[in-house]
Amino acid sequence: MSNILNVYQLEKSYNSGGRPLKVLQDISFSVPEGTSFAIVGPSGSGKTTLLGLCAGLDTPDSGSIELCGEKIEMLSEDQRAVLRNQQVGFIFQNFQLLQTLSALENVCVPLELQGVRNALPVAKELLDKVGLADRGHHYPSQLSGGEQQRVALARAFANRPKILFADEPTGNLDDHTGEKVENLLFDLNKEAGTTLVIVSHDLELARKCDRILQLKGGKIVVESSAVTG
């Protein structure tokens, strides 16, 4: 099994009050294709920063990231955008749906960006898979938080990504709704054979993944196989 994501000796600092604040130190790990991988840790441990670097949304101070066979640091900003559009899916804590578009139109966006001709029927099928076939004409403001995240799930899988990055995907949802979204996420992921990388403070969610990487103070404290009990 080949690795879809390789991270080697990653370092990242930000300027804080005129001083460099080291957010990530000497981060190295690999994610095999088709597996699920959780990054956990307390607030401020560098989880979201690490996710953004892995997805090519930001660049490290030093180190190397290989995503879908491409060394990210060797790509221009435009080339990274093309890589994300063609190979990568995203799910965010705050849904990030386009408020002026309906649920169906939101799911259509990544398909249209790829030039897919039958975008509408594909988007309808995806909404049906997340149980929202009858809500396609509704706008985000007319949907509950759980419904919005289900639309975001449908959108994330629309371009058939090789890897999906999920940043606290159930962070804004109550426990019951969050569990439903989690189950949908893993079901869709298994069906599509997508690699899943989740950032979460929720250890119960993390334990559903194949492997767990735990951060503290910007460093890896443990990497292990998830243990479900």
Q: What is the pLDDT of residue 44?
A: 84
Q: What is the pLDDT of residue 42?
A: 87
CATH number reported for the structural domain that contains residue 205 in this entry: 3.40.50.300
Q: What is the pLDDT of residue 69?
A: 93
Distance (Å) of CA 198 to CA 131, 137, 166:
22, 29, 5
- Is the model's pLDDT at 31 over the cut of 60? yes
- Is the model's pLDDT at 1 over the cut of 80? no
Inter-residue contact 226 to 212 (CB < 8 Å): yes
- Is the model's pLDDT at 203 over the cut of 80? yes
- Range 24-48 average pLDDT: 92
Smallest Cα–Cα separation from 89: which of 139, 126, 133? Answer: 126
Name the domain count of the chain: 1
For the chain, the distance separating the N- and C-terminal CA atoms, rounded to the nearest angstrom, is: 27
| Helix, strand, or coil (residue 213) | strand
Domain encompassing residue 124: 3-225
pLDDT in tens, 48-92: 999 999 999 988 999 999 999 999 989 999 999 889 888 999 998
pLDDT in tens, 137-194: 999 999 999 999 999 999 999 888 999 999 998 888 888 888 888 999 998 888 889 9
- CB atoms under 10 Å from CB of 176, counted, come to 8
pLDDT in tens, 117-140: 889 999 999 999 999 999 999 999
Q: What is the pLDDT of residue 163?
A: 95
- Helix orientation angle between 145-158 and 103-113, rounded to the nearest 10 degrees: 20
Strands 195-200, 36-40: pairing is: parallel
